[in-house]
């Protein structure tokens, strides 16, 4: 589950895309090449009907951060051992994430294992795998990545989807206007507003 969590958190891919990801679509890159070839994952499939992604723009190739590359490399070695142990019972689907016999994971498998991880981490069991995608958007937003680029990374058909579905995660980006205006028109005096408690006291006195 470590590789699954690392990949989804580091790239923001949907759980339905992660479950359908094949090794043939994972490129570990070549850092010593000239120029260096970055590691990447071609997100071209999902577990939806006919293997289609949610939208046309959901088909995308994403560079993989080092944390995802390392996790996938270890995971591949572990999966190779499971394949040997399974012997004739192994189902070869070339899936990156599968059961111990190579069979596709269903949503219940992923939710159960994810909750076990959350329970072990003592953060509660109310979290779901899709929280990883929300966390990715939030991290990108707080790092100053423009919403247009976040939409492309998330595979959204347009920025409106990103802004509506992830409006809470995008709040840090929406403060840019106010911050820019404060820099352009710096205040030379102390703030005229008080604290919430002082405001309530003022209202009470007036009544």
The model's pLDDT over 39-48, given as tens digits with 9 standing for 90+, comes to 999 998 777 6
Task: Name which of 46, 39, 85 is nearest 62 in CA terms.
Answer: 39
Catalytic residue chosen out of the listed positions 4, 14, 19, 75 = 14
Residue 11: predicted pLDDT? 92
CATH of domain 2-129: 1.10.443.10
Average pLDDT, the chain: 82
Q: Residues with Cβ < 8 Å from 54, sequence gap 6 or more? A: 14, 16, 46, 48, 155
User: Residue 26 above 80 pLDDT?
Assistant: yes
Taking only the tens place, the pLDDT of each residue in 62-116 is 999 999 999 999 999 999 999 999 989 999 999 999 999 999 999 998 999 999 9
Residue 51: predicted pLDDT? 56
166: annotated active-site residue: yes
Question: For residue 18, is the peptide bond before it cis, meaning its omega torsion is within 30 degrees of 0?
Answer: no
95 - beta bridge partners? 22
133: annotated active-site residue: yes
54: annotated active-site residue: yes
Catalytic residue chosen out of the listed positions 4, 19, 75, 166 = 166
Taking only the tens place, the pLDDT of each residue in 130-180 is 999 989 988 888 888 888 999 889 888 888 888 877 766 665 545 566 677
Sorted by where each begins, the domain ranges of the chain are 2-129
Q: What whole-number distance in Å separates Cα of residue 85 and Cα of residue 95?
A: 17
Catalytic residue chosen out of the listed positions 22, 25, 48, 54 = 54
Q: What is the dihedral of CA 51, 55, 57, 60, to 10 degrees?
A: -30
DSSP secondary structure letters along 53-78 = -SSGGG-EEEEPPHHHHHHHHHHHHH
Q: pTM for the full model? A: 0.76
């Amino acid at each position: 589950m470590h590789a699954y969590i690392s990949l989804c958190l580091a790239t923001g891919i949907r759980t339905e895309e992660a479950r359908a990801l094949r090794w043939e679509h994972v490129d570990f890159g070549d850092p010593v090449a000239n120029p260096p070839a970055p590691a990447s994952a071609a997100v071209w499939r999902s577990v939806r009907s006919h293997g289609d992604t949610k939208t046309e723009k959901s088909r995308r190739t994403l560079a993989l951060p080092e944390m995802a590359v390392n996790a996938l490399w270890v995971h591949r070695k572990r999966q190779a051992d499971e394949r040997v142990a399974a012997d004739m019972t192994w189902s070869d689907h070339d899936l990156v994430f599968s059961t111990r016999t190579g069979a596709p994971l269903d949503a219940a498998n992923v939710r159960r294992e994810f909750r076990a991880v959350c329970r072990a981490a003592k953060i509660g069991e109310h979290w779901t795998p899709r929280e990883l995608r929300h966390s990715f958007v939030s991290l990108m937003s707080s790092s100053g990545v423009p919403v247009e680029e976040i939409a492309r990374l998330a595979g959204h058909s347009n920025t409106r989807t990103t802004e509506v579905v992830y409006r809470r995660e995008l709040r840090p980006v929406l403060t840019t206007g106010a911050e820019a205006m404060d820099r352009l028109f710096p205040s030379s005096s102390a703030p005229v507003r008080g604290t919430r408690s002082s405001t309530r006291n003022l209202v009470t006195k007036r009544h």
